[in-house]
Structure 1
Amino acid sequence: MRSDPDAPSGLSRRAYLKLAGASAATAGLAGCEAARQDPPDALAEPVIADTYGVGPAAARPESESVGFRYFAVDTGGEFVYDGERWRAQGFRGPFLDAGRIRGIADRVVRTTAELERAFRNLERGDTIRIASGVYRPSRWLTVDASDVTVIGESRRDTLIRPADGANVGGFHVGPNPQNRVENVLIEGVGFDGNERTMDDTVKRCHAFLVEHASQVTIRDCFATRTHPYHEHDSGGSGFTVRRQATDVSLVGNYTDDIGDRSIQVAGSAIRVAGNRLTNGFDRAISLDVRHPDGPKYYARNVGVVNNVGRDNSTGSIIGASQGAPQRPGAGNYAIVGNVAAGTHRRTVYLGIEEAVRNVAIVGNSGRQADFGEPRSGIYVSGNVSAFTVAGNTLADYSLHGIELEGTGSDFTVTGNTILSPRRDGIRAETDWGTITGNVVESPGRVGIEAAVGNAVVGNNAVRDAGGDGIHLGAAGDAVVATNRVAGSGRASRGTAEIRIDGSDCVVAGNVVSQNAAFGISEAGDADGNVFLGNRVRRGSAGGSASGPSGGSGAGGSGGSGDRDPPPESGESDRRAWDLRGPTSRLLGNSPAPDPVREIDVLESDGTATIRFDRPYARKPILDVQTETPADWTIDWRRDAAGNLVGADLAFTDRAGDPATPTAQVGVRRPE
């Protein structure tokens, strides 16, 4: 803003505007103690220009030209002369120190020298306006006073580019641990790190650095080419918030072609919202910061909301990397509504060795372009507990869609959509959790893999998995219920739509369209599972849902749990059930395991052999029906573990001679 050339010495156009604003801002304050303050010395006597005047109310001229305005600094009154008398305008109120109206510049900077001088002489309450242009400072622009506002024309028009070889970054808010600052705003400024001219021995020349400060907002700013360039942990990042900072907002900023991380935060009560981060190196948004003293510190109480990250050559879009926190309480993260695109490792990565609790990863969308390493869309590892992964959409990741592992517990994975991951759709190796209401389509291997116990896998839809549709690991003690699974096994033989390897599980109300070798499968060493009200029906590739004629059950495997691969093709290649746990209970399933079947009776000796579709720990009940009267005896077959896996039947007529009746046999578990 320029000074009015017609104004007398001592009153700039800025002062005129401040005083005009003051008269409106003081509405309703008349009569308060401040009204009795004396005006500032500089305006104790009236100052008269061509069209306006400023001074004490008592010093107002008796007359002036029509339309002349007079501002009374002691009462806040504004008067206009109408040719006969002064008429009060607007509001009246107490004296207001107009030199501290935020948003009206105390200094307007147009040169590099003015820029450095403004920050060197910064005082509490200052507002600095940086005009359009390129500025080449040789020192950090430090903000070591509170209530400071720094405003550029725009992130495109106002550019800070350090002098060649200066070895400095951009803005440093709160550099002094003995002088904590608060209430700082930086807006509309761009930064180019000029990294090609810097000394490689100098590290962490960040564009915007917040340290010993609170209530700081940096918005609508830009950063690029920070120094050191493409160096992990000690490189130059766009926006850095160190562990001492609290209540910091990074809003609506842009980075492109950054040196290390676009944004990295380690303070508390941090908001990272609406930023656009492109062509990065390491993480776009990091919830940890490697400090100059060596340790890595993690953020606490952070909201990461509605940011867009695209093309990070070696890092994830949002995350915190492996390592133990240097202070307790890391966590309480809300990662919501972010978008990940192009080349990047992961949408979200949290891997922290010590306890982290209260994490919500909700409503994010990620699609990975070609990436040379196997990486999952969302990856949570280490000791992260009490977390929710909900409503995310992830496509084309080079490992799994969602991967959970480590020593943490108490998780919820719900309402996510996973499309075409190279391996598993959802893989959980974390204890005590629920996996519900997810959609998984065309994973390269397993649709949903719950490798640990105490899990609930329910109401999911899995389609066209390369391997098993749903696989429950050996830990057991879980619930698999009301899932819809179809078309599994397109890339592997011997798979199942639903496979249960653990014990003490409840498998209930699932609907399976069978394309895999087995509809529902159970491991041989499983114990005490309950299968209730499941439905296995023929899939689109054909095949019988009621099992092969004559029974080709699993009893001949010696109880080892190894599955013989099915034949290459044909309707009889697949079985609805492959249950090997001898103590499992079944009720109301369709079709029933060991259905009533017709058996072949040898004419030579009147004998027939059947194999059960599952082993039995106790003798099952055989329901034998013959078209002609016949007697029969039974000789049980057992596997190496002593479980009953089949039977030899011998038929005789009433005379005791071998008979060859047409016979059907049903097998059921004893109650």
Structure 2
Amino acid sequence: MPDIPRRRVLGGTAGLAFALTGWGAGDGRANDTRRMRTIADSVVTTTDELESTFENLSSGETVLITAKNAPYRTTGWLDIDADDVTVVGPGVRTLIKSAPSANAGGFRIGHRRHCSNVTIRGIGFDGNPDEQSIFTKLCHGIVVKDAEDVTLAGNYVTRTHPYHEHSTGGSGISAEPASRNVRIVGNRIEDIGDRGIQVGGTRVVVARNVVTDGLDRSISCDVWRNGRHRQGGNIAVIGNVLGNNPEGSLVGMGGDDLTDGGGYVVISDNLGFGHHKSFCHLGFEGTVRNVRIDGNVSVQERRDDYSGISLDIERAEHVTAVDNDLYGYGGRGINVSEGISDFVVSRNRIRNVASDGIRIAGAEDGVVARNTVSGTGRTGIILEAARYVAVEGNRFRDLERVGILAAGGETFHEISDNHVRGFATGKGHEAGMLIQSERNLVRHNRIYRSGGPAIVEGNGANNLYDGNWSDAKRPWHIRSATSRVRDHTPAFDVHRGVSVDGSGRATVEFEKPYATRPKLSFGRVGGGVRGVSYRTTNDGDFDAARLTVASPDSTVDVFVEPV
């Protein structure tokens, strides 16, 4: 049986020991340090030892960086280009700090050659940006380049260089496009030069990190290089706490097609707060697909004109935003722009946003269902030039303007089973639903009495309104001759107590014109109806009926039914 390399065994044992003892959590227990000293291959106590160790790393080596002489003022990058390397620190926040004019970041993994099975745990890094050259860029805290099976856990990164510089600034942790199978778990990243964590690799987990006080995104599912966003693929961003990066979203993605022609991105159960733009932004030119934004909670504490979730990339397919709580945004709650198709916006709770709750503009083939929207500065849901969207089972209250607005030519929406209560709370005459497009089905909606009519058809046509309910008087303002209305409560185009004159004649003006002559039925008929003739508009639509009945000075009830 061949000998098993001692360093490989020790590296695996160390990794297990660190996981079991909670190494890197910052508890500073002396027992952990003593235990590590017994299993580490290299124990670092000076800057010279630190730099020499990384210049001469061997496969399977375990390195303990003690707090004895921290901070270690490094003069260059610490490179890991060997397999099965484990680096462990005591959880001291300023364990390593770039020396003046070092013009380097922290660790580079797979910089000169491909490597695998690397762990960095419990390391603190300060980029010292004030003392670095302004011409040196991208001095990240930890960079995973050409490497796979990498774990970065329990580390602390701050003040990376360049400081507060877009795209070429220093990020906290960067998983580059050639990286594979990377776990970025339980790290603390704050006061960062550019992005907190950025991912351009494949099969990456970003979980339980706290990322605050940066410049651009807290977590980005792409890496910005040479003017292009290089997307990651198969990424899970789960359970992170994110806040206070005023020039970017908390989570985002943009740019070219997903790595290897496809992949999935899950953004789930994260908490957002503080000053930022959107919670999640899929944006810029390019394509994304297979993205699920699920179960996040975020509040914009300082209002800027950005949406909580903003999907405005050039093209996106198969995007789901479900079960998110979005509060206080200065723009919209959720914005879905042109180029998006096959999307779902469902079971989100949107409160106190300055503009629309949900805006669907130019997108196609989507579902907007069972969302709760309250306290908007404009509309609950607005559909602008979108097509084939099902708007189902949403609940609205305390809206300054319209509950649901549909506009833009032939749109083919199905708007059904929604509840609208407390609309038109601002100035002006608004409606529970305003339909300004064609070929829609609007059915089984409940619209409670508020500051305007229940349903208004503006310049819409060829719509079907079926079984809608309101507790207001005369709630239906539907005008198109080609639209149909049936089974509403209160009933549409019902005329009770029409007076018959002394000559036995009465005229009934319809609530809307009809392109096809409608059917009339009667309640009280004043001794019987002897004749019916119809009045038409200049367009040839039927807008009234003239009745002749047997009994002068009587009363007639007339029910107008579309054919």
Q: TM-score, normalised by structure 1?
A: 0.75
Give 1:391 deviation, angstroms: 0.5
Which residue, out of 155, 158, 161, partners 2:97?
161
Are the aligned partners of 2:500 and 2:556 in contact in 1 as well (CA < 8 Å)? no
Matched, 1:173 2:109: yes
With a CA cutoff of 8 Å and minimum separation of 6, indicate the structure with the bigger relative contact order: 2
Structure 2 residue runs without a partner (length 5+):
15-38
Give 1:499 deviation, angstroms: 2.5
Are the aligned partners of 2:372 and 2:394 in contact in 1 as well (CA < 8 Å)? yes
Matched, 1:424 2:356: yes
5 Å matches for 1:6-405? 33-34=1-2, 97=6, 100-102=9-11, 103=14, 104-132=39-67, 133-156=70-93, 159-176=95-112, 179-291=113-225, 293-321=226-254, 323-325=255-257, 329=261, 331-371=263-303, 373-381=304-312, 382-405=314-337
Gap change, CA 1:640 and 1:329, over 3 Å in 2: farther
Corresponding letter in the other structure for 2:482: T
Q: In structure 1, the residue corresponding to 2:252 is in which secondary structure?
A: strand
Give 1:166 deviation, angstroms: 1.2
Give 1:149 deviation, angstroms: 0.5
Gap change, CA 1:273 and 1:326, over 3 Å in 2: closer
Greater C-alpha Rg: 1
Q: CA deviation digits over 1:326-358, x for unaligned, max 9?
A: 966355100000111011101110125333221
Gap change, CA 1:183 and 1:638, over 3 Å in 2: same
Tell me the distance in 2 between the aligned counterparts of 1:249 and 1:639. 71
Q: In structure 2, the residue corresponding to 1:204 is in which secondary structure?
A: coil
Instruction: Please tell me the root mean square deviation across aligned C-alpha atoms, in Å.
Output: 2.4
Corresponding letter in the other structure for 2:512: R
5 Å matches for 1:599-614? 599=498, 610-614=508-512
Equivalence for 1:489 = 424
Tell me the distance in 2 between the aligned counterparts of 1:318 and 1:163. 32
Q: In structure 2, the residue corresponding to 1:596 is in which secondary structure?
A: strand
Gap change, CA 1:427 and 1:295, over 3 Å in 2: closer
Gap change, CA 1:636 and 1:524, over 3 Å in 2: farther
Gap change, CA 1:98 and 1:118, over 3 Å in 2: closer
Q: CA deviation digits over 1:214-250, x for unaligned, max 9?
A: 1111111111111111100000110111111111111
Between structures 1 and 2, the one with greater strand share = 2
Tell me the distance in 2 between the aligned counterparts of 1:330 and 1:286. 17
Gap change, CA 1:410 and 1:492, over 3 Å in 2: farther
Which residue, out of 425, 440, 445, partners 1:510?
445
Tell me the distance in 2 between the aligned counterparts of 1:631 and 1:459. 44
Equivalence for 2:19 = none
Are the aligned partners of 2:8 and 2:84 in contact in 1 as well (CA < 8 Å)? no
Tell me the distance in 1 between the aligned counterparts of 2:377 and 2:123. 46
Structure 1 residue runs without a partner (length 5+):
1-32, 38-94, 539-543, 548-575
Gap change, CA 1:434 and 1:670, over 3 Å in 2: closer
Q: Percent identity?
A: 35
Are the aligned partners of 2:218 and 2:249 in contact in 1 as well (CA < 8 Å)? yes
Gap change, CA 1:415 and 1:625, over 3 Å in 2: closer
Gap change, CA 1:664 and 1:327, over 3 Å in 2: same
Give the number of aligned pairs.
531
Are the aligned partners of 2:172 and 2:196 in contact in 1 as well (CA < 8 Å)? yes
Which residue, out of 428, 450, 469, partners 2:403?
469
Are the aligned partners of 1:296 and 1:325 in contact in 2 as well (CA < 8 Å)? no
Q: In structure 2, the residue corresponding to 1:116 is in which secondary structure?
A: helix
Gap change, CA 1:644 and 1:181, over 3 Å in 2: same
Give 1:597 deviation, angstroms: 2.8
Matched, 1:436 2:369: yes
Q: In structure 2, the residue corresponding to 1:309 is in which secondary structure?
A: strand
Gap change, CA 1:534 and 1:456, over 3 Å in 2: same
Give 1:530 deviation, angstroms: 2.5
Q: TM-score, normalised by structure 2?
A: 0.88
Give 1:630 deviation, angstroms: 8.4
